[in-house]
């Protein structure tokens, strides 16, 4: 009975002093303003991927053919000279033997004793000429540049055209990697058997090699006026790859591994390049995930916040699909949240909009303002949140919003908004 009384007392206290705040993850498509917009804005663009692999392969094959020709030339010269070299060796041998035979037996014995070797002449060996082997070059992978360009090189907010007003050009260097090297490491390990421990050395092996695929990007007008150029340092640097440690010596053949890594790096680098271009001059579409909160109440005390939650959720779902409707629904939610904050009483734990609900509604507002690109309104909310007793998680979230709104403010200024 005592436990039941305590439970009922706690339940009454909780209903008076706390709210049951729930949250739900919401993902939507967000269109980011360019940091360096092109003015006037062009209607369309042409994307081109230029691979230097073909030229590099042509150079390697040309060198290969030249080396084969040189090897054949050298071989023919050696063949032509072979008989002369054989005759010269035989003549020299005959001359040496004549001199040797002219010596007395006593002289030969003295020489053998003094020199500790047989002084009898030996005919010089003349090797039969053989053609130098020229190994075939290892050619770089050649990709369908047109297909890669249509798949990865896209500027959001612009139409693609065969003769666009701006040229989006990516130059892709061949994939490079170093020869793998085996690395060994001796570690001490312990085994226990029959209550006794035994420490012994174990050698582990792994392979290491470095790889990269450099790329550069250039955006220019049809009159060759350069708008943007970058050779990202990230793509110029070599990345080290290390296989898993093994007690067995691994195979040095990394052909399959390298092929897979090359395909993966190609995709990653092109996506990275495309992000750089879109961040600078495009209206980049990205998937944004946020958390919407609402207060669960059986008495209908927070029906307004539930209405705002539903409106915002619908608005985010319509983003980049029907922007007019999306902004209207998010604006509806924002209006409800703003009105609720007029009741905020963070010092009164019994207030409908106490500190806990105030913080929840404030973060909902920040996301709404971000989606609507309303920086000034958000700055007021962030200033108020800084005065409240935030948890560590909430403080980090506020810091993240502060950086995002600062970036949005700079982009709005760049776009004259």
Report the pLDDT averaged over residues 143-157: 95
- Which pLDDT does position 18 carry in this prediction? 53
Phi and psi at 151, nearest 5°, equal: -85, -40
Q: Give CA torsion, residues 305, 307, 312, 313, to 10 deg.
A: 110
pLDDT at residue 366 in the model: 98
- Tens of pLDDT, residues 40-57: 899 899 999 999 999 999
Q: Place 100 in a pLDDT band, splitting at 50, 70 and 90.
A: confident
Q: Judge whether residue 276 has pLDDT over 80.
A: yes
Cα atoms found within 13 Å of the Cα of residue 312, Cβ hemisphere only: 32
pLDDT tens, position by position, 344-379: 999 999 999 999 999 999 999 999 999 999 999 999
The model's confidence at residue 299, banded by pLDDT at 50, 70 and 90, is: confident
What's residue 11's pLDDT?
37
Task: Say if CB 378 and CB 370 are below 8 A apart.
Answer: yes
Question: How far are the Cα atoms of 28, 29, 51, 274, 285 from residue 152, in angstroms, in the given order?
Answer: 22, 19, 14, 7, 14
- Quick check: 131 pLDDT over 80? yes
CB atoms within 10 A of CB 285: 16
What is the dihedral sign for C-alpha 282, 287, 289, 292? positive
Where are the domains positioned within the chain?
Answer: 17-33+283-414, 44-55+138-281, 58-115
> Can you tell me the mean pLDDT for 146-160?
95
Measure Cα distances from 405 to 32, 94, 334, 402 in Å.
12, 97, 17, 5
- At which residue do the structure tokens 């996506």 appear? 271
pLDDT at 16: 39
Tokens coding 148:
């890669």
The answer to whether the CB of 16 falls within 8 A of the CB of 8 is no
The gap between the terminal CA atoms of the chain, to the nearest Å, is: 66
| Residue 8 predicted with pLDDT over 50 | no
What pLDDT score does 145 carry?
A: 94
Mean pLDDT across 103-113: 72
Q: Left if phi > 0, otherwise alpha if psi is -120 to 50, otherwise beta: which for 224?
A: left
User: What interhelical angle do 323-341 and 355-372 show, nearest 10?
Assistant: 150
Q: What is the structure's pLDDT at 365?
A: 98
How many Cα atoms within 13 Å fall on the side-chain side of residue 159? 8
Work out the mean pLDDT of the chain and round it to a whole number: 90
Strand 239-242 relative to strand 215-221: parallel, antiparallel, unpaired? unpaired
Q: What is the mean pLDDT of residues 145-155?
A: 96
Residue 3 confidence (pLDDT) above 70: no
Position of tokens 């226990």? 192
Cβ atoms 26, 290 nearer than 8 A: yes
**Is the pTM for the entire model greater than 0.85?**
no
220-247: per-residue pLDDT in tens? Answer: 998 889 999 999 999 999 999 999 999 9
Task: Please report, rounded to a whole number, the percentage of residues in the chain having pLDDT higher than 70.
Answer: 94
**What confidence tier does 4 reach under pLDDT thresholds 50, 70, 90?**
very low
Using DSSP bridges, classify how beta strands 20-31 and 181-193 pair: parallel, antiparallel or unpaired: unpaired
What DSSP letter does each residue of 256-303 carry, written as one string?
HHHHHHHHHHHHHHHHHHHHHHHHHHS--EEEEEEEEEEEE-SSSTTH
Burial (CB < 10 A; 0-12, 13-18, 19+), residue 56, is middle
């Amino acid at each position: 009975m005592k436990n039941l009384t305590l439970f009922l007392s706690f339940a009454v206290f909780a209903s008076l002093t706390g709210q049951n705040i729930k949250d739900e993850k919401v993902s939507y498509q967000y269109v980011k303003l360019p940091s360096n917009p092109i003015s006037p804005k062009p209607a369309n663009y042409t994307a081109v991927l230029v691979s230097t692999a073909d030229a590099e392969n042509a150079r390697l094959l040309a060198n290969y053919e030249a080396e084969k020709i040189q090897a054949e030339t050298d071989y023919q010269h050696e063949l032509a000279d072979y008989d002369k070299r054989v005759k010269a060796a035989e003549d020299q041998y005959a001359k040496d033997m004549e001199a040797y035979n002219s010596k007395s037996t006593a002289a030969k014995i003295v020489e053998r004793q003094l020199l500790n070797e047989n002084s009898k002449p030996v005919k010089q060996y003349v090797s039969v000429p053989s053609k130098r082997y020229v190994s075939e070059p290892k050619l770089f992978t050649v990709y369908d540049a047109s297909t890669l360009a249509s798949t990865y090189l896209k500027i959001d907010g612009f139409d693609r055209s065969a003769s666009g007003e701006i040229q989006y050009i990516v130059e892709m260097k061949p994939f490079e990697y170093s020869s793998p090297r085996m690395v060994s490491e001796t570690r001490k390990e312990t085994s226990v058997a029959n209550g006794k421990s035994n420490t012994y050395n174990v050698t582990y092996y792994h392979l290491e090699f470095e790889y990269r695929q450099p790329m550069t990007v250039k955006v220019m007008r049809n009159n060759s006026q350069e708008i943007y150029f970058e050779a990202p340092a990230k793509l110029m640097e070599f990345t080290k790859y290390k296989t898993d440690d093994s007690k067995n010596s691994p195979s040095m053949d990394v052909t399959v591994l390298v092929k897979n890594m090359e395909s993966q790096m190609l995709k990653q680098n092109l996506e990275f390049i495309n992000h750089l271009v879109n961040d600078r001059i495009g209206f980049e579409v990205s998937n944004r995930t946020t958390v919407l909160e609402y207060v669960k109440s059986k008495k209908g005390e927070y029906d307004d916040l539930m209405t705002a939650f539903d409106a915002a959720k619908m608005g985010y779902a319509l983003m980049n699909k029907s922007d007019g409707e999306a902004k209207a629904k998010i604006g509806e939610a924002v209006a409800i949240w703003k009105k609720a904050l007029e009741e905020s009483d963070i010092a009164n734990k019994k207030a409908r909009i106490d500190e806990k609900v105030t913080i929840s509604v404030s973060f909902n507002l920040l996301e709404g303002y971000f989606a609507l690109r309303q920086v000034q309104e958000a700055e007021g909310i962030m200033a108020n949140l800084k005065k409240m007793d935030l948890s560590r998680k909430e403080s980090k979230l506020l810091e993240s919003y502060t950086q995002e709104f600062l970036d949005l403010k700079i982009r709005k200024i760049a776009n004259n908004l």
